[in-house]
Structure 1
Amino acid sequence: MKKAILALSALCLVAFTSCKEDATSKINQDNVAAAAERDASAADFPVITFEETEHDFGTIVNGTPVETKFKYTNTGKTPLVVSNIKSTCGCTVPSDWNRDPLAPGESAEFTVKFNGKGSNQVQKSITLTTNTEKGSEIVKIKAFVEPDPNAAAQKAGKAAIKSVK
C-alpha cells in the first residue's frame, strides 16, 4: 500500500512540474487588442429619439379611422436598425417603416393607423424592435372615443336566472 501511494505521489509530482511553459506566453497580443476594440465599440449602441412618444387624437366618434406618423432620429454613434414594429391589438396597424440601417444623424418615420373602435378613453402601445441598448422602444396613441350619434340605440338584453337541480 505504501508503494502505491508513493508511486501515485511521484506521478502527480512529475505531471505538475513537467509543464514549464507559462499559459500567458501562448496569448496572441493581436487578439487581445482586437477583442478590446470590439468590446469598446459594443458599448456604443444607437440611440433612437422620437419627436413625440405619445400621440393624442383627441375626441373621435366611434368607428372613425385616424392615423399619425411617428418621426424618429438616430442620435447615437452607430447605425440604427428597426427590425419590426407591432401593436397591442389588430385595431392599431403600424406600417411604412424603413428596415434599412439608419446612419447616425439620419431620420425616418412610420405610420400608425387606428380604426377608431372603442369607448371612452382608449390607449394603444406600439413596440419597435431595435438594436438599441434596451432592444425595444415603445410609443403610444390615445383617443377619447364617443358613441356614434347616428348608430341605432341598442335595447338592454334580458337576463334570466335558471335554477340548477
Structure 2
Amino acid sequence: MKKVVLALSAMCLIAFTSCKEDATKKIDENNVTAAAERDAQSSKYPVLTFDKSEHDFGELISGTNVETVFNYTNTGDAPLVITDIKSTCGCTVPRDWSKEPLAPGESGSFTVKFNGKGTNKVSKAVTVTANTEKGREVVKISAFVKPDPNAPTKAGSAAITPVAK
C-alpha cells in the first residue's frame, strides 16, 4: 500500500511541476494590461452631490399643492446615469429629471411635488436610483399640515333619544 501511495504522490508532483512552465508562457501581456486598465476604471464612480438633502415646506393648509426643486452635481470621476426617482407614497411625485448621462462636473435637477395630504408633521423620502457606488441616494421633504378651516366638518353620530309611547 505504501508503494501505491508513494507512486501516486510522485506522479502528482511531476504533473504539477511540469504545468508551471506552460502556464507562464500562455499569459499574454496585452491581456494583463487591458485587465489592469479595466480594474482601474471600475473603481471610478460618479458621485451625486445635492444642493440640499432636505426641504421643509413649513406650515401648510391640508390639500395645498407645493413643489420644490432639488439640484444636483456629478462630483465623481465617471458619467452619472439616474435610472429612477421614487417617493415613499403617491402624495409625493418626483418628475423632470434627465435620463441622459451627466458628465463629471455637470449639474441637473428634478422637481418634487407634494399634494399636502396628511396631518401634523409629515415627512417623505425620495429615493434616487443611479450608478453611484451606493446605488441609491435619498433626499427628504417635510411639512406641518394643518386642517383646512373651510373644510366641512364630519358630522358626529347624533345621540338617539327614546320616543315615549
Length-normalised TM-score, structure 1? 0.84
Amino-acid identity (%): 66
Judging changes above 3 Å, is the alpha-carbon distance between structure 1 residues 29 and 59 closer, same or farther for their aligned structure 2 residues? Answer: same
For these two proteins, the number of residue pairs brought into alignment is 158
Q: Which residue number corresponds to residue 91 of structure 2?
A: 91
Using a 3 Å threshold, how does the CA distance of structure 1 residues 9 and 118 change in structure 2: closer, same or farther? Answer: closer
Say whether residues 1:66 and 2:66 are aligned partners. Answer: yes
Matches within 5 A, 1:1-165: 12=12, 15-16=15-16, 19=19, 21-156=21-156
More moved, 5-14 vs 40-49: 5-14
Could you say if the C-alpha distance between residues 131 and 155 of structure 1 is closer, same or farther in structure 2, counting changes exceeding 3 Å?
Answer: same
Task: Return the offset for 1:81.
Answer: 0.5
- CA offset digits 1:36-68 (Å, max 9, x no partner): 111111111111111111011000001111111
Residues 2-35 of structure 1: per-residue CA shift (max 9 Å, x gap): 8877875676566456547342221111111111
Cα-Cα RMSD: 2.2
Superposed displacement of residue 96, structure 1: 0.7
Q: Deviations over 1:134-155 (max 9, x none)?
A: 1110000000000010112224
Structure 1: any 5+ residue segments left out of the alignment? 159-165
Secondary structure of 2:21's match? coil
Hey, what does 2:162 align to over in structure 1? none
User: Which residue of structure 2 aligns with residue 163 of structure 1?
Assistant: none
Quote the residue 1:162 is aligned against. Answer: none
In 2: Cα distance, 1:26 partner to 1:44 partner: 30
Question: Over residues 58-95 of structure 1, what are the superposed CA-to-partner deviations in whole Å (9 max), with x where a residue is unaligned?
Answer: 00001111111111011112111101000000110111
Letter matched to residue 116 of structure 1: G
2-structure distance, mates of 1:28, 1:44? 26
